[in-house]
Structures are given as C-alpha cells and as structure tokens.
A and B are shown apart, each in its own frame.
Chain A
Amino acid sequence: MQDLVNISIPTAAGTALLGYLVVFFGLVLLMIVLLIMGSVFEKKRASAEKAAAIPAPTREAPVLTMENTLPKAKGTAGELKLYNTEPKDAAMIMAIVADTLGKPLNELRFISIREVTDDEV
C-alpha cells in the first residue's frame, strides 16, 4: 500500500486521472439508467396518446344538444372570445386583472382577449 499522506507526484497524477474517470463512469452509467427510464416513459406516453387519438364509438349526436337547452351556470358572466390566445394564458391574464383590481373574478366580465403583435404596438 502506497503512502497516501505523503503522496508522491506520480501517484497523485494517477489518483487525479482515476478520480476523473470514476466521476465520468458514475455519471455515464447514471445517464444510461435515466435514458432507459426516459424511453420507457416516452413509450408509455406515446401509446396513451395514441389510444386517446382513436375516437371512441359514439351514437350520432342529437341535433338539439343539452348545452343549448340548459341555462348557464350561476355566476357565469357570458362567453369569452379568445383571439390568438391560449386558454391557459387567458386564465392567467384574468387572474392578474382580478388581482390588480382587487375584485373577485366572478364579478368581472371579460368579453374577449386578443394577442397584440409587435407590429400593432
């Protein structure tokens, strides 16, 4: 066993090289494990998406839908039209407006939300 306290220069060089290789070895193995794990989950997700994409057999829809006949839910403030805006972004914008005005969301009515492009500014 070599003296590792008063370590010689060649031993130190060897230890440094070995250490760097060990770090690489450990992380490369971990990378392989994570890649395998990732591909398993990706496959699972792809098959779930595929299954969701196949339309379930349904009966022909009636001409008059239930939606048209039912009254709107209590507290609903009409319809909101979105132009070039994702529903998620719209929800965020409405929450920010409500917060800024200090009013509950159900007391506000949003008619439409439209993305303003750089050219329009």
Chain B
Amino acid sequence: MDIMGVLQKLATESGFAAFVLTEGGWKNLVMILIAFVLLYLGIVKKFEPLLLCGIAFGCLLSNLSYFIGMGDNALYHPELWSQFLDSSSPYYHSYGHIMSNAGLLDFFYIGVKAGIYPSLIFMGVGAMTDFGPLLSNPKSLLLGAAAQLGVFVAFFGAVLLGFTGPQAASIGIIGGADGPTAIFLTTKLAPELLGPIAIAAYSYMALIPMIQPPIMKLMTTEKMRKVKMVQTREVTKTEKIIFPIVVATFVILLLPSTAPLIGCLMLGNLFRECGVTDRLSDTAQNALMNIVTIFLATSVGATMVADSFLNLDTIKIVILGLIAFGISTAGGLLGGLVMYKTSGGQINPLIGSAGVSAVPMAARVSQDVGRKYNKNNYLLMHAMGPNVAGVIGSAIAAGFLLSVFG
C-alpha cells in the first residue's frame, strides 16, 4: 500500500485544497463566510430563525461540498439543474437524470422545483390563519390589493435594470412579502435567482418592524394614527367554513395559475374551520409545516453556490427587494388613507401597511405604531383583515405573473 500516495490523494481531494486548487475555489470561501453571517443573523439577531438557520446551513453545506470540477461528493449539483432547464440538453426536464446523479440536497430541491414545498407551507399557513377579521370586514381586501403596488413597481424597476421579463417578475414578487410565494414563482420563472430572492424576501420580512414604521409616520398625521376603530361584526362558524370553499372556487376559476397556492391555503383553512378534521389541522400547522420548512430552507440555501450568488445581480436584487417592500407598504397606506377619507375618519390608515402579507408581523407593526399614539387603541384584529388579504393578493399577483411569463 502506497501510504504517501493515499495521503497525497486525500490532501488533493480535500475541501481545503479545493479552495486554492479549483477554479473559483476562493468564492466558496466567501460563500461560507456569508453562511456564517446568515447563521449569526438567524440565531443571535433572531431574523426569521426558522427559515434563515436552514437556508444558511444549506448554503454552508453546498459550498463545503461543491467545487467546480470536483462534483463527486457534492450535496448539490448546479450543473445537473442547468441541464434540467436547458431545452437543448438531452436531460431537459429529466428527473431520472437528476435522481441517478443527485446528492442529498438535490433530492431535497426536487420538492422546491416541483412547487411542492411552497404549496405545503401555504397549507400550514391556511391551517394557522383565522380569516374571521377579513370576513367581518371584507373591505380589507382593498388594502391587500393596494399593498401589491411594490410587486409591480419593482418588476418595472428590474426590467429597467436589465433583467429579463421572467427574472423581473420573480424579483418583483419580493414586494408581496410572502416567502413561499416568492420561492414558488422564482422556481418556475427564474430558478437561477432563487438563492438571492429567497434571502432578500425572508430578510426583509424579518426587518418589517424597522422598514415599515418610518414610512407609516411619513404618510400619516398624528390625528390619523390615533383613530380608534369600532368593533366589527361577529362572524359565524358557518361563514368560516364556507369561506375557503368560496375563495378556492372563485380565485382558481379567475386565475388558474394560482391553484397550487390558493388551493393549499384554503385546504389548510378548511381543515382548521370545519371542526371535523382537527387532527389534520394540527398536523398541517405543526408537524407538516416543520418538516417542510426544514426541506425548503436547506434546499433553497443549497442553491446559493458561489457562481450564481456572487455577482452584481444579487446586489441589484437586494436593493430592488427593499424598494419593493417600501413601495408595497406605501401602497397599503395609500389605500388606508383613501379609506380614512371615504369613511369620514372611521378607519385608521395604519392598518393599510399590514396589507403586505407577512402574517402576522405586519399586523403587529400596525398595532404597535397605533398604540404608541393612543394607549387604548387596539388595531391588531383590524389589521389582521388586510394582512390575510395580502396573502391572497400576493398569490393572485404571482398567478398573474406566472400566466404572463410562465
């Protein structure tokens, strides 16, 4: 046995050597540092930790195991997915080819690529969400619609910055403030941007308490912020049961491309409300949600390989994402201001900013800002209406973009 030969082989095949010996190996090192920063943000700063820890660790695993020209031990193979998407490749849309060559994270990623994980997350969100505030005040839907402004402004901005139509659509949806929707649409339209878009979407969702209040203060007066809203009507159990059936039927017929997201969202909600599927509701909002979150986060993180992440486009996406979030907040507030005027000052415009989805964080921000100006003001339940309307609104926006660019 040639001991020196074995040692030399081990040394040249090690990841440490690969940092220096492979083409662009140093970029892996940078990505590993980025993964550490994301882990720090998730664990210490608690920025969406359930997602960010998984994303960061997926990124770490991917960049520890994949080096250009040394793909044998890789957990994620970007070249396999490039062939999968290349219509001139013999392996175009071949899951068989992926599965016969895949690493662990490639297998996880199949669930993202097929749109399974975001839809299952939506089922869990549906099972967790009480649509009662929306049912008691259906006008909240207007705020959910108004707050999609950032999606389309960012889309336009991305086109101006030179992105293709499908890429711009995927960047724009960051403004919907809905991680699963952003991942769902990006996987379909611009999978090469999945890493930066997912990171931008979840980071900004975590930063909502910092992004929104200055815009809220800028666009409203103190008098408006102090408005105390009256109690809305009580919603019956029957209404809550009928709601998911009506929404699924109506929205999917209107925009069939929303079927996976809206269908799962409403199925989860039906489990919650119908009263005879408590076990399924419990599974959807806990066990299933947690399992899918693990797979979704790690596989999205795995797509953050150096070559596709370390470029100017990532910086542009981060900036456009922030603009999208800001404009969506402003759009919702504009809707709130219109409702304030038309209702004769009965509606507090602060609830408009909750229309950006991001349940329930955006509604909490409305509540917190409102209470700062009026200690006896409880806006939370009023803000939950636009907040859940935003989930439906961002799914419709994604459905529209998918039907145009898909």
Contact = CB atoms under 8 A, between A and B. Distances in A.
Real complex partners, A and B? Answer: yes
A95 B48 CA distance: 35
B404 interface: yes
A84 to B, nearest CB: 19
A59 B251 CA distance: 55
Nearest to A16: B152
B160 interface: yes
Interface stretch (A17-25, A50-58, A98-106, A108-116): A17-25
A7 to B, nearest CB: 4
A27 B145 contact: yes
- Interface residue SS majority, chain A: helix
A30 B251 contact: yes
Interface stretch (B74-82, B134-142, B311-319, B364-372): B134-142
B246 A37 contact: yes
Interface residues of A, number: 30
Interface residues of B, number: 45
B168 interface: yes
Interface in B317-354: none
Contacts of B26: none
B126 interface: no
B159 A19 contact: no
Given A12-B168, A22-B400, A27-B389, A33 B250 contact: yes
Interface of B: 134-136, 138-139, 141-142, 144-146, 148-149, 151-153, 155-156, 159-160, 164-166, 168, 172, 233, 236, 238-239, 242-243, 246-247, 250-251, 254-255, 389, 392-393, 396-397, 400-401, 404-405
Interface of A: 4-7, 9, 12-13, 15-20, 22-24, 26-31, 33-35, 37-38, 41-42, 45
